[in-house]
Structure 1
Amino acid sequence: MRLEQLSSLFIASRLEGDAGTLVTGVQADSRKVRPGDLFLCVPGLVSDGHDFAAKAAEAGAAALVVERDVPVDLPKLFVRDARYAMAAVACRFYGYPSRELKLIGVTGTNGKTTTAAIIEHILRDRGFGTGLMGTINMKIGDRWYDTERTTQEAIDLQMNLRRMRDAGADYAVMEVSSHALELGRVKGCRFRTALFTNLTQDHLDFHKTMEQYRAAKGLFFSRLGNEFADDPDAASYAVLNADDDASAYFAKQTSAQVIRYGLGDGADVRASGVRLTAKGTQFTVTAFGESVDVKMKLVGKFNVYNALGAISSTLVERIPLAAIANSLERVGVVPGRMEAVEGSADFLVVVDYAHTPDGLENALSTVREFCEGRIITVFGCGGERDRTKRPIMGRIAARYSDYVIATSDNPRSEPPEAILGEIEPGIAAEGIGRDRYELIVDRREAIHKAVEMASPNDVVLIAGKGHEPYQIVGGVQLHFDDRLVAQEAIRGRSK
């Protein structure tokens, strides 16, 4: 592709240098640049791509996209917004892959990973080619890959959507974070369906207020398009949680058809007769005049909502409700989401990703539904993130648990003791004494203590990290997996 073909995407731009320069790749990370690449100098939250233009040139970059001049002797395309240009260039370079796929996006504070996984499972069960992209991993064809963030940067996103389509995908299901929306990572993506799970406190270190957080999510629905379609295959859909107040706001942001799901009478897709056990969940789903019974291995009321969102998103693809229910029976537990740790005979250890107040409350209330003994909770709060949620999570842990061990999550560069010091007032506010909680900085020690003190019928909930195989301490990423540490502790008990 020639540089002039990319420069033609922007009216408010200026090209200096050879317009016929051949571009064989696009990059915004100077460490990944290969000879022939176009390097986009994108200002970031921590660093500025303009400062790495020389390194990109040394690596063989053929040209630059810049917002301001840099002392590098390469053809330069000057643009007003390099981040916007990154999304536009990536879409053009990879041939607008979302136009060839039915793209389903899932956004919300909690439930994105599980909901996306359920949707992909249902579609795959019906024989469709599928791709999946999210917090835990990415599926292209029959292969799975680890991912670094919930929603990839625009270049990687467009490249992987192209790979999915070339591998035979009819649908791509992806998690869409508020950061990605605010930073324009999904600009240029044509979404078939935008699904909203819930909106609760999180990421206030980035968005500052809940209003700004909601507005970032609203961008997803306002970008669904402003046209009506006669052809159902060309229509777009907003699938909203009717039991979450933010849904009314999102419904006003879009011209797409709105489908509401929930437990209340106002939902188009509604669950009733919900029965929760330690081994799974049963309910009746009613959608557009039809009802079927659903059984699934996923536990908890919040997973009923995740399933309803997935049901709604696949119903619009003309999949029969009975077939969807049949598929739900075979959905397995998503790694790190209410995942039982094997090895304990008379008590249960559960690992969950719950790292927000709402997520922790959902996990604990689910455990309370089936726990016949005590609930012992191990949790922490991430460093360099929203500090206001720390006492809130402490209070929630104390309210639902019989014993609480507050410990380190990913402290990053914050002193772990300081984080625990901000959690403790919330625990104490519930009126429990020091005989019912303790602070243990070392997460491994905390997990071992919880497992050692468990009695028959108790449930140990280890919350916050879920599937993550690492812990970030002092800016260093260390290998650490709650599930493996819990198994280690269980084996230690039996000696």
Structure 2
Amino acid sequence: MMILKDILYKVGLDIVIGSTDVQINDIHFDSRAVKENDLFVAIKGTAVDGHDYIEKAVSQGAKAVVLEVMPDYQDENVTYIKVENAHKALALMAANFYENPSRQLKLVGVTGTNGKTTTTSLLYQLFKKSGFKTGLISTVEILIDEKVVATKHTTPDPMTINKHLAAMVAIGVDYCFMEVSSHGIAQERVTGLEFAGGVFTNLTHDHLDYHSTFAEYRDVKKRFFDQLPKDAFALTNLDDKNGAVMLQNTKAKKLGYALKTFTDYRAQIIENQFGGLLLKINEHEVWSKMVGEFNAYNVLAIYACAIELGLEEIEVLEVISQLEGVSGRFQYFTTVENRITAIVDYAHTPDALKNVLETINSIRTRNETVITVVGCGGDRDTSKRPKMAHIAAALSDQVIFTSDNPRTEDPQLILDDMEAGVEPQDYKKTITILDRSQAIKAAAKMADKNDIILIAGKGHETYQEINGVRSDFDDRKIIADILNKLNK
């Protein structure tokens, strides 16, 4: 519970009708959750406008309403607060309501197209193994030290973020590592949070269904760094052409990491194999269980981040060698007898798929066949579909196009979009099997001794969404069951 005027601290108020000295029990932006003496925030979403539910929220006991458009009728027992941006207001109010927990621990945000989940998860592991109470807010899960909380979004809503940060503070968490998505930045979900540091991984084609242009997508990412305080650090991948852009207007300490560019933190790949990477980081050799050049960047980023947060270099290198891969990210399974290797990876963007396939091709001996199973999600950026198919066909020996999460779209139309990207010389490499389970089984049947199967797109996900309905589905479980039968 908190007095309304304290909740509204730093929120730009256009019009206030009623008292701000009332006590508020909770804050909600879903009218269905509103109870007596709660605050309702009317958010204009892409599908639903919260302003349409103000009357319902008031009937359920809302004591105050924050909105962008004042209703024609105002209940005399309710306080109405008009703001310019309800998304931003919600974020600031959430931070105030939970007593600004981000200021009471070291919060580091990681943004970019690919690598956010791996980087944040590895940082969580590194700091846990270094003896710190640590938090994680990621696509895969939220961890309050060792307590696991399920998550639905890469960057949760502001109330959820601050609630979990407050829970971390309550048990003495020292550091929290958080994925920061472009949607989260654009919708002000991270506004009001105080970051000790920000990390930029890379920027490639994604989310152009939401951001109308690539420049807009880039500039939204940049906004995160623009808002970092001067006592924070901004760590960016300078091998990415957009890396330097992120640093242009930041007040934070500017730092770079790279494999190919001379900068603050550098690494060199000495060995790259299915068992892991041997890296040389700032003149020290370190073995990592991660695989591929894209993971070399992730390992270098966590090394640099740990040093900037005050950990000792030798200790960091020792712990890096112990870190495990992230579930559904280049997670591989191998049969004992005929050495068929299956790799499950979340790669759902053209660049991520290209990185994984180039890694496989750099390690393979060329005496085996690479079979890729891949699809594209429905109700998302359609322009990447032919690009994904083009990359899969160009860099694989055999490709099976299949369903990913079609959501409300016709799965066959998604596959038609993909097939349009296949070059004529690659037509014979490709087949289409609509049912994803059958596609994975077909890939296993096609595989011979030493062959490599890549199952891309869903990674850690344990469901498949078709016609808006989620059913249990796990690429890892399906392929593991198939390969276990081959082992017998």
TM-score by length of 2: 0.95
TM-fit CA distance, 1:57:
3.1
1:453-474, CA deviations, whole angstroms, 9 ceiling, x for partnerless residues?
1111111000000001111111
Structure 2 counterpart of 1:221:
225
Find the aligned partners of 1:60 and 1:131 in 2 and give their Cα distance: 35
Which region of structure 1 is more displaced relative to structure 2, 350-359 or 323-332?
323-332
The residue that corresponds to 2:292 in the other structure is 300
Matched, 1:327 2:322: no
Matches within 5 A, 1:143-182: 143-182=147-186
CA contact (8 A) 2:11 2:93 kept: no
Comparing 120-129 with 455-464, greater Cα deviation is found at 120-129
Residue 92 of structure 1, CA deviation: 0.9
Aligned residue number for residue 31 of structure 2: 30
> 1-side partners of 2:31 and 2:183: how far apart?
22
Distance 1:101 1:351 in 2: 35
| Shift in CA distance, 23/307, structure 1 to aligned 2, threshold 3 Å | same
Asked if residue 256 in structure 1 is aligned to residue 252 in structure 2, the reply is yes
Distance in 2 between the 1:47 and 1:334 partners?
35
Residue 396 and residue 326 in structure 1: after superposition, are their counterparts in 2 closer, same or farther (change >3 A)?
same
74, 80, 86: which is aligned to 1:76?
A: 80
**1:315 equivalenced with 2:315 (yes/no):** no
* 2:410 equivalent to 1:415: yes
**For 1:379, which of 374, 382, 406 is the aligned residue?**
374
Report the CA distance between 1:265 and its aligned residue: 4.3
Shift of 1:343: 5.4
**Which residue identity is paired with 1:432?**
D
| Contact persistence 1:259–1:268 (CA under 8 A) | yes
Determine which of 120, 125, 139 is the counterpart of 1:135.
Answer: 139
Superposition deviation, residue 19 in structure 1:
3.0
Assess, with a 3 A threshold, how the Cα gap between structure 1 residues 317 and 5 changes in structure 2: closer, same or farther: closer
Letter matched to residue 238 of structure 1: A
Does residue 1:427 correspond to 2:387, yes or no?
no
- Greater mean deviation of Cα atoms: 410-419 or 343-352: 343-352
1:224 and 1:256 in contact (8 A); partners too: yes
Residues 41-440 of structure 1 mapped to structure 2, 5 A cutoff: 41-70=42-71, 71=73, 73=75, 74-225=78-229, 227=230, 235-286=231-282, 291-341=283-333, 345=337, 346-372=339-365, 373-429=368-424, 431-434=425-428, 436-440=429-433
Q: CA deviation at 1:155?
A: 1.3
RMSD (Å), alpha carbons: 1.7
Check 1:450–1:122 CA distance in 2 against 1; reply closer, same or farther (3 A cut).
same
Secondary structure at the counterpart of residue 98 of structure 1: helix
The 8 Å contact of residues 280 and 286 in structure 2, kept in 1 or not, is answered as yes
Moved more, 313-322 or 302-311: 313-322
CA distance in 1, matches of 2:36, 2:128: 39
CA distance in 2: counterparts of 1:7 and 1:262, whole angstroms:
42
The alpha carbon displacement at 1:11 in A equals 4.8
Maintained 8 Å contact 1:354/1:360: yes
TM-score under structure 1 length normalisation? 0.93
Deviation of the 1:61 alpha carbon: 2.6
Instruction: Quote the residue 1:230 is aligned against.
Output: none
Match of 2:482 among 466, 471, 489: 489
Partner of 2:454: 461
Which deviates more from structure 2 when the two are superposed, residues 134-143 or residues 73-82?
A: 73-82
Partner of 2:21: 20
For the 8 Å contact 1:343–1:487, the answer to whether it is kept is no
Q: Which amino acid aligns with 2:426?
A: I
Q: 1:49 to 1:170 in 2, by over 3 A?
A: same
Find the aligned partners of 1:123 and 1:46 in 2 and give their Cα distance: 40
Q: Secondary structure at the match of 2:415?
A: helix
Structure 2: distance between partners of 1:327 and 1:452 = 40
Answer yes or no: is the 8 Å Cα contact 1:292–1:321 preserved in 2: no
Deviation of 1:13 (Å): 2.9
CA contact (8 A) 1:2 1:20 kept: yes
1:183 positional shift = 0.9
Give the superposition deviation at 1:297. Answer: 0.9
Cα distance, 1:318 vs. partner?
2.1
Check the 8 A contact 2:41/2:90 in 1, yes or no.
Answer: yes
Work out whether residues 372 and 455 of structure 2, in 8 Å CA contact, stay in contact via their aligned partners in 1.
Answer: yes
Cα distance in 1, alignment partners of residues 422 and 106 from structure 2: 46
* Structure-2 change in CA distance of 1:8 and 1:402 (3 Å): closer
Per the alignment, residue 232 of structure 1 pairs with none
Secondary structure in structure 2 of the residue aligned to 1:155: helix
Structure 1 pair 121–494 and aligned structure 2 pair: CA distance change class (3 A)? closer
Give per-residue Cα distances to partners, 1:234-278, cap 9 Å, x unaligned: x21111101001012112121211111111241211112431111
Shift of the alpha carbon at 1:201?
0.3
Q: Distance in 1 between matches of 2:417 and 2:353?
A: 17
Unaligned runs of 5+ in 2: none
Q: Distance in 1 between matches of 2:334 and 2:471?
A: 24
2: distance between equivalents of 1:207 and 1:360? 21
Change beyond 3 A, Cα 1:455–1:72: farther
For residue 3 of structure 2, what is the aligned residue in structure 1? 2
- 1:323-362 CA-to-partner distances (Å, cap 9, x unmatched) read 1111111111101001113656420111000000000011
Q: Is the Cα contact below 8 Å between 2:279 and 2:288 reproduced in 1?
A: no
Give the counterpart letter for 1:278 in structure 2: F
Q: 1:54–1:72: 8 Å Cα contact kept in structure 2?
A: no
On the 8 A contact 2:272/2:363 being kept in 1, the answer is: yes
Q: Compare 27-36 and 379-388 and name the one that shifted more.
A: 27-36
The answer as to whether partners of 1:371 and 1:458 remain within 8 angstroms in 2 is no
Letter in 1 for 2:235: V
Q: Say which SS state the counterpart of residue 169 (structure 2) adopts.
A: helix
Structure 1 unaligned residues grouped into runs of 5+:
228-234
Q: Is the 8 A contact 1:371 1:457 kept in 2?
A: no
